[in-house]
Copies of this chain bind each other. A is one copy, B any other.
Amino acid sequence: MKQKGKGKEVGVGITAKKEKDFSEWYTQVVQKAELADYTSVSGCIVFRPRSYAIWEKIRTWFDIELKKLGVKNAYFPLFIPKHLLEKEQEHIEGFTPEVAWVTQAGETKLNEWLAIRPTSETVMYDSYKKWINSYRDLPLKLNQWCNIVRWEFKNPIPFIRTREFLWQEGHTAFADKKDAEIEVMDIIKLYKRVYEELYAVPAFIGKKSQKEKFAGAEYTTSAETFLPNGKAVQAATSHFLGQNFSKTFEINYLDKKEQKKYVYQNSWGMSTRTLGIMIMMHGDNKGLVIPPNVASLHAMIVPIIFEKTKVKTINAAKRLHKQLQGEEYCVDIDLREGYSSGWKFNEWEMKGVPIRIEIGPKDIQNKQAVLVRRDTGEKIFVKLEQIKKKIPKLLKEIQQNLFDKAKKFIKENTKKASNWLEFTTAIREKKLIYGQWCGATKCEEEIKEKTGVKVLNIPFKYVKPKGKCVNCNNKASVMAYFAKSY
């Protein structure tokens, strides 16, 4: 979008096609819509204001919901001493290959290496141990919004897979196992709502397989979705840790009868990966499409300027802009000189603004303006005095339409598989597979090796599978979602 030197209308559009070269298309949208930029640290991006503002919307919404659940925000150290990170054996094995280590400060070599947090269980539970002594100290429910580092060696993809990302991580401790497990579900349902109500992205929630669960958890639940390029992606997980960590970290308390008990724990997180998912799901060949519920700017007024009627048009546009202030939605006006109206249309489309409001001399005559939907391109002629009321309705429609479209896409691209032929055919066709499975880790590993496909999750609602596992021909025990996945 940068104008080099003069206000020349240099090529600013997206040149790649989403359906042809998804990866190039995505890279262009991310950069040209000014969502992110690459940096001189390989695998780390800048979250530019246009993406960061969306993340702030998510944070605000989620914080309100967390407050209702009695969760409070806190902040724990970035650094985790090596001995602490290594305390829970299963956990450390999951993270060791990706840990960034601080080994030196100033001119001094550190006695003990410090990990940059790949997740904060260990550093937090070291404190929980101190804070939890009596049943009166429970439940303890903390959340933090922070940066996380996982030194992936795979090809980085902005938002989807970067070495540093932002997330929230909740860490809770309970006296009762049941209460902990209820919260695991409450949270994964909240994540589903973030996807669906804010990002307009349908999510399917369920239990992870033993192989894919979080290292150190008893079980993991996840919210997943399926993208237009035929890949699934997970961006939120809610783990029941059981007493794995509490026994390792000695997080215990005296109950009412003065018996020593270990707490039950959960941890749950959702990351800026959700931003990438939103972009991939809704974007089109014109660029970004921002669902109204996460947009900071909901409509952009673009006056259509002819030299003869310039002043009149600009004044009318300004009056309209003024009239639309102070509402729950945000409307801006593009009065920049040196760009044609058409160029501006393209720019705001590329940047994903949900509604464009065009107003030209003819419209002024007719006391109207034209509202153009970003999602469908539909032009709607609206009398000036009705625009104020029309906008929120239209925003609601756009939000719903984006969700419905995505839902339809996923539905049409889900294929049931009851045997290996159906399974592999579906893989070739880049489908999301709903297939019958034995549930064994060995079988899962085999499938992964043969096809690159993962078990995404097993829906909470138990459906008894008929017949055999798609791969190993043992008796199927569950219905699971499979797909290639980020």
A residues sitting closer than 8 Å to B (CB atoms) are 2-7, 37, 39-41, 44-49, 52-53, 56, 72-81, 84, 96-108, 113-114, 116, 123, 126-127, 130-131, 133-134, 136-137, 142, 146-147, 149, 151, 153, 164, 166, 254, 258
Among B105, B127, B133, contact of A4 (Cβ-Cβ < 8 Å): B133
Contact of B77 with A134 in the complex, beta carbons under 8 Å:
no
Residues of B contacting A151 in the complex (Cβ-Cβ under 8 angstroms): 105-106
Residues of B contacting A74 in the complex (Cβ-Cβ under 8 angstroms): 46-49, 52
The residue in chain B whose Cβ has the minimal distance to the Cβ of A110 is B100
Given contacts A72-B53, A73-B53, A102-B100, contact A136 B3 (CB under 8 A): yes
The residue in chain B whose Cβ has the minimal distance to the Cβ of A256 is B6
Contact of B49 with A73 in the complex, beta carbons under 8 Å:
yes
Contact of B46 with A134 in the complex, beta carbons under 8 Å:
no
Contact of A105 with B101 in the complex, beta carbons under 8 Å:
yes
A5 to B258 CA separation, bound complex (whole angstroms): 7
The residue in chain B whose Cβ has the minimal distance to the Cβ of A34 is B131
A356 to B45 CA separation, bound complex (whole angstroms): 48
Query: Which 3 pairs from chain A and chain B are nearest by CB?
Result: A105-B151, A49-B72, A44-B77
A149 to B79 CA separation, bound complex (whole angstroms): 10
Distance in Å: Cβ of A92 to nearest Cβ of chain B: 12
A484 to B126 CA separation, bound complex (whole angstroms): 36
Residues of B contacting A40 in the complex (Cβ-Cβ under 8 angstroms): 81, 84, 123, 126
Between A78, A104, A113, the greatest number of chain B beta carbons within 10 A of the residue's beta carbon is seen for A78
Residues of B contacting A6 in the complex (Cβ-Cβ under 8 angstroms): 134, 254, 258
Residues of B contacting A81 in the complex (Cβ-Cβ under 8 angstroms): 40-41
Contact of A77 with B164 in the complex, beta carbons under 8 Å:
yes
Residues of B contacting A116 in the complex (Cβ-Cβ under 8 angstroms): 78, 102, 116
Residues of B contacting A4 in the complex (Cβ-Cβ under 8 angstroms): 133-134, 254
A156 to B15 CA separation, bound complex (whole angstroms): 54
Given contacts A5-B134, A103-B104, contact A127 B53 (CB under 8 A): no
Residues of B contacting A134 in the complex (Cβ-Cβ under 8 angstroms): 2-7
- What are 13 inter-chain pairs, A to B, with CB distance below 8 A? A2-B133, A6-B134, A45-B77, A52-B72, A52-B74, A53-B73, A56-B73, A78-B147, A98-B105, A99-B105, A104-B113, A105-B151, A146-B147
A6 to B133 CA separation, bound complex (whole angstroms): 10
A7 to B134 CA separation, bound complex (whole angstroms): 9
A131 to B79 CA separation, bound complex (whole angstroms): 32
A7 to B116 CA separation, bound complex (whole angstroms): 39
A133 to B48 CA separation, bound complex (whole angstroms): 17
Residues of B contacting A47 in the complex (Cβ-Cβ under 8 angstroms): 74-76
Distance in Å: Cβ of A221 to nearest Cβ of chain B: 26
Distance in Å: Cβ of A16 to nearest Cβ of chain B: 21
Residues of B contacting A75 in the complex (Cβ-Cβ under 8 angstroms): 46-47, 52, 147, 166
5 other A-B residue contacts (CB within 8 Å) besides A2-B131, A46-B74, A102-B103: A2-B137, A39-B77, A44-B79, A46-B75, A75-B166
Residues of B contacting A41 in the complex (Cβ-Cβ under 8 angstroms): 77, 79-81, 114, 123
The residue in chain B whose Cβ has the minimal distance to the Cβ of A149 is B78
Distance in Å: Cβ of A195 to nearest Cβ of chain B: 22
Distance in Å: Cβ of A73 to nearest Cβ of chain B: 5
Residues of B contacting A76 in the complex (Cβ-Cβ under 8 angstroms): 39, 46-47
A48 to B128 CA separation, bound complex (whole angstroms): 11
A319 to B290 CA separation, bound complex (whole angstroms): 46
Contact of B103 with A103 in the complex, beta carbons under 8 Å:
yes
Distance in Å: Cβ of A422 to nearest Cβ of chain B: 39
Contact of A37 with B258 in the complex, beta carbons under 8 Å:
no
A258 to B108 CA separation, bound complex (whole angstroms): 49
A293 to B44 CA separation, bound complex (whole angstroms): 38
Residues of B contacting A98 in the complex (Cβ-Cβ under 8 angstroms): 105-106
Between A40, A53, A107, A108, the greatest number of chain B beta carbons within 10 A of the residue's beta carbon is seen for A40
The residue in chain B whose Cβ has the minimal distance to the Cβ of A124 is B46
Given contacts A78-B149, A164-B77, A254-B5, contact A100 B96 (CB under 8 A): no
Contact of B127 with A37 in the complex, beta carbons under 8 Å:
yes
Distance in Å: Cβ of A151 to nearest Cβ of chain B: 4
Residues of B contacting A142 in the complex (Cβ-Cβ under 8 angstroms): 49
Distance in Å: Cβ of A43 to nearest Cβ of chain B: 9
Distance in Å: Cβ of A250 to nearest Cβ of chain B: 14
A130 to B113 CA separation, bound complex (whole angstroms): 35
